[in-house]
Amino acid sequence: MKPVKTFRVIPKLPENIERLRDLAYNLFWCWDNEAVSLFRRMDRDLWEDLDHNPVRMLGAIDQRQLDELAQDDGFLAHYHRVLDKFERYMLEQKWYEKRFGKKEICIAYFSAEFGITESLPIYSGGLGILAGDHLKSASDLGIPLVGVGLLYQSGYFRQHLNYDGWQAESYPVNDFYNMAVEEVKDSSGKLVTVSVEFSGRKVYAKAWVAHVGRVRLYLLDTNFPLNAGPDHDITDELYGGDSEKRMQQEILLGIGGIRLLRLLGISPSVCHMNEGHSAFLSLERIRLLMQDQKLSFEEAVEIVRAGSIFTTHTPVPAGIDVFSPDLMKRYFYDMSRDLGIPWEQFLSLGSESGGNPNNGFSMAVLAFHLSERANGVSRLHGHVSRNIFQHVWPGLPQEEVPIISITNGIHHRSWISHDIESLYYRYMGDKWINEPQVMDKKEHVDEIPDEELWRTHERRRERLVAFARKRLKKQLISRGAPGTEARTAEEVLDPEILTIGFARRFATYKRADLILRHPDRLARILNNDHMPVQIIFSGKAHPKDSPGKELLRELVHIAQKEEFRKRIVFLEDYDMVIARYLVQGVDVWLNTPRRLYEASGTSGMKAAANGVLNMSILDGWWDEAFKPGIGWAIGKVDEYADINYQYDIEANAIYDLLEKEIIPLFYSRGSDKLPRGWIRSMKESIRTLWPVFNTHRMAIEYTERCYNEAESRFNLLTGTGNAGAKALAAFKEGIAAGWAKITIENIRSDAEERIMIGNCLNVAVTVNLGDIDPDHVDVQVYHGLVDSTGMIIEGVADSLREIKKIADARYEFTGCINCTLSGMQGFSVRILPKNELLVSPYVPGLIKWAL
């Protein structure tokens, strides 16, 4: 029966604890252990049953309990302590204001998923967790940022394994009215909604807001009566449906997100795209500038590019969203007319430069074309990205492709255990927790007594084992396992032995099975009478990833074998709860991706923050973080043509590390039964990794290298009636029109067969510039070592600054190149555009090389 009227029932809280509601609706609680303890204290069992959701718990707890708590002096003291801390947090001056003063600036951070807490399940994995940690650090640092995303009715799937170990998915419906999100209303109390045009029809989305400390996260939801049929379900699942459904979600995220901010009176000068899912936002910003400021398409593009930042998390081309031209035309043909550009030009915004638009429209390429600043998420991933996306800047050497790297981090307070946090506070002070990015007194780690660090870690392992047994028993019962088998769950694992953790998405390239490659050797290692080992696995395969599901099924079958039954456990339905237990309780964190296939990875950082040691392939963040004494590197960086041989080499490297280094170090105990060598490595890992691999450092780096520079560029181009944008667009249009006529006619140098190091190499280049002003080009000598194939490697460019006119349109550019390296070297000559308004001379399609 459909109701004729709906209304919302909210819990009645006693007046003296009424502000529990404020605490519940600001997600600050989820990274403050004292706040978490406050909610758990209200009803420990209910807290666990309701997935750590304080909003839902306030509505479910018995009224008599609330009344009793309101008279409990201990609870009231705890309540006021948390409330005072929260109020100070919201009002005190933060890093950004101390560093830059009060500035009227807004940065909009767009992401398809946000992993903030398990009680707001709108995330699937690493990308979302990173986005959530980014918002938390922005709040802690006072960075003027708002988040924009989608509110999914079912979020990501819940995982269940059948008795054979095959993954099945379910999609529980989220009850937004019992979550820490609120409907956004205007001053008259009316719901704020946005509309987006979808292939000849309008689709509507309702706006919600979640408060993440001092940061607001706005979320769009299509599940309400203004939409009919399938449009109602556009935001039902994260990464669900077909290509068209994905496009609809990304239109809503990018275009709908910009329209929502506009409705709310928020005018971001800087938009940060966390992956390419939101890249359509740039098209909407261009359209609005053309409509409001009466700018041309080219002029509006320059402003949008100046104020856009793109972070790519993709290590392989297959991970990029690419839409067919037919699908693009169905949804964007009208947009191309609004922008005043031909359809072919519109498609070229997302096609590989110089490529065939019929190959598809790439969201990453669109984001690169419309962003002045782009970055990978680790030093190695920056290198990989410059290789993958070199085609966007044709003719540019890989090392000069303008993609920087800003390595990911973690929000420490969200991931360290309450026990380890108390230990750090006690011996190292609050700066370690609140300002991890500026820790210069790393010797504070040595002040922690070995005994206390080890006993604290042992308590976390004990809790992990207890948690794993409980979870395993529950999942065996749900699979229909016999009662005798379910009871054996109480006997698996040992709280006192070396414990390895592996948890991540079950994609084949992540190779969860690498350590299982030689079962006989592994069985001998795990079941050693004197130095036993155990492994806890967790993770989900994408619903459409059959190879990933098969890998998971094989792992479950191996774990059921008699020799592994007590030593290998797989925990279903990997989420933030399981992740916290694992990274806080294992001894070794295992990571085995194919090298160059993991952009960054952050789970190992979470483990390291808790004193856990990493054993990983040298990929992603570990490639730049690893040094002897803080963990272990699996194998080398060698790549073999035979992939099976590669896997064998690396599997055996794992076994060798375990047998020869890791296990002996863990079990080497003195008379006090402390593994002093292991504890020394724990401390060195904390000392080395804590100050670097955190989202405070990461968010500060984004602010100083991207946000502030983008804001300055945005203001430069929009000042004085958008004069800068108009001048830059006119310059690019003029130089592009005459670029093809440029010719390099002659190159002369005093290079001999041998040149003494330190000597100067004089170069003169005669160029015919056609109609282009010589002050608008940069003639460069590109030089460096020559490899065995005759190619210049890791070259550097020096400009020829002396200019002499020879005749009409013909000029001679001369200069001197210092020879600072010995060995076989060579040089070439190239021409790039030059203008003080260009942030980078690398304009796609505008580079001329000597033939």
Question: Residue type for 811, please?
Answer: Y
- To the nearest whole percent, how much of the chain has pLDDT over 70? 97
Assign 3-state DSSP to the chain and report helix, strand, coil percentages, each to 5: 45, 20, 35
Task: Find the angle CA(370)-CA(375)-CA(378) to the nearest 5 degrees.
Answer: 160
Among 308, 316, 331, 306, which residue's Cα sits nearest to residue 202? Answer: 331
Sign (positive/negative) of CA torsion 640, 643, 647, 649?
negative
Biggest CA-to-CA distance, the chain: 95
Q: What is the mean pLDDT of residues 330-343?
A: 96
C-alpha–C-alpha distance, residues 254 and 220, integer Å: 11
pLDDT band for position 557 (cuts 50, 70, 90)? very high
Show the tokens assigned to 789: 């194939």
* Other residues' Cβ atoms within 10 Å of the Cβ of residue 4: 5
Q: For the residues of 433-459, what is the DSSP string, one character each?
A: HH-GGG---GGGGGGS-HHHHHHHHHH
Amino acid occupying residue 573:
D
Quick: pLDDT tens for 743-782: 999 999 887 666 777 678 899 999 999 999 999 999 999 9
Q: How far apart are CA 105 and CA 272, in angstroms?
A: 14
Answer whether residue 360 shows pLDDT above 60.
yes
d(CA 827, CA 825): 7
Among 79-83, 222-226, 295-299, 610-614, the range scoring the smallest mean pLDDT is 222-226
Give the pLDDT mean for 200-208.
Answer: 95
Helix (H, G, I), strand (E, B) or coil at 431: helix
- Cα 112 to chain centroid distance, Å, stands at 11
160 exposed, middle or buried (CB, 10 Å; 0-12, 13-18, 19+)?
middle
Distance between CA atoms of residues 494 and 526, nearest Å: 12
Strand partners, 148: 110, 218
811-820 CB burial, b ≥16 within 10 A, e <16: bbbbbebeee
Other C-beta atoms lying within 10 Å of the C-beta of residue 775: 9
Which of 59, 88, 61 shows the shortest CA–CA distance to 75? 61
Q: What is the DSSP letter of 594?
A: P
Beta bridge partners of 570: 537
Interval 362-375 mean pLDDT: 97
Q: Is the pLDDT of residue 136 over 70?
A: yes
**221-254 b/e with 16+ CB inside 10 Å = b?**
bbbeeebeeebbbbbbbbbbeeebbbbbbbbbbb
Bridge-based pairing of strands 631-634 and 792-799 is unpaired
Mean pLDDT of the region 131-158: 96
User: Which CA distances in Å does 244 have to 203, 239, 325, 328?
Assistant: 14, 11, 12, 10
Q: CB of 314 within 8 A of CB of 151?
A: no
Q: Which residues pair with 802 in a beta bridge?
A: 814
Q: Distance between CA 753 and CA 785 in Å, rounded?
A: 15
Q: Can you give the pLDDT at residue 354?
A: 56
Query: What is the dihedral sign for C-alpha 60, 64, 68, 71?
Result: positive
Distance CA 287, CA 264 (A): 18
Helix and strand totals (H; E) in the chain: 31, 28
Averaged pLDDT for residues 641-652: 93
**Residues 384-389, mean pLDDT to the nearest whole number:** 95
Helix (H) or strand (E) holding 558: helix 546-559
Q: Average pLDDT in the 790-817 region?
A: 92
Q: Output 259 or 433, whichever has higher pLDDT.
A: 259
pTM of the model: 0.95
Rounded Cα–Cα distance for residues 450 and 496 (Å): 17
Write the pLDDT tens digit of every residue in 566-609: 999 999 999 999 999 999 999 999 999 999 999 999 999 999 99
Quickly state the pLDDT bin for 323 (edges 50, 70, 90): very high
Contact 195, 203 (CB under 8 A): yes
pLDDT in tens, 233-279: 999 999 988 999 999 999 999 999 999 999 999 999 999 999 999 99
- Over residues 637-646, the pLDDT tens digits come to 888 888 999 9
In this predicted structure, the answer to whether residue 522 has a pLDDT above a threshold of 70 is yes
Give the pLDDT confidence score for residue 442 in this predicted structure. 67
Residue 7 has pLDDT above 60, yes or no: no
pLDDT of residue 146: 98
Q: What is the 3-state secondary structure (H, E, C) of 729-760?
A: HHHHHHHHHHHHHCEEEEEEECCCCCCCCCCE
- Give residue 4's pLDDT: 55
Between the alpha carbon of residue 490 and those of residues 44, 139, 164, 501, 556, the distances in Å are 22, 42, 21, 19, 18
Q: Give per-residue pLDDT as tens, 667-703.
A: 999 899 999 999 999 999 999 999 999 999 999 999 9
Name which of 169-183, 606-620, 695-709, 757-771 the model is least confident about: 757-771
Instruction: Report phi then psi at 240, rounded to 5.
Output: -105, 175
The answer to whether the beta carbons of residues 457 and 611 sit under 8 Å apart is yes
- CA 39/CA 26 separation, integer angstroms: 13
The closest alpha carbon to 375, from 269, 268, 254, 275, belongs to 275
How crowded is residue 295: how many other Cβ atoms within 10 Å of its Cβ? 20
In degrees rounded to 5, what are phi and psi of residue 764?
-130, 135
Q: Which residue has the tokens 């774990």?
A: 559
The DSSP 8-state label assigned to residue 90 in this structure reads H
pLDDT (mean) for 450-479: 94
pLDDT at residue 608, rounded to an integer: 98
Query: SS3 of 204, please?
Result: strand
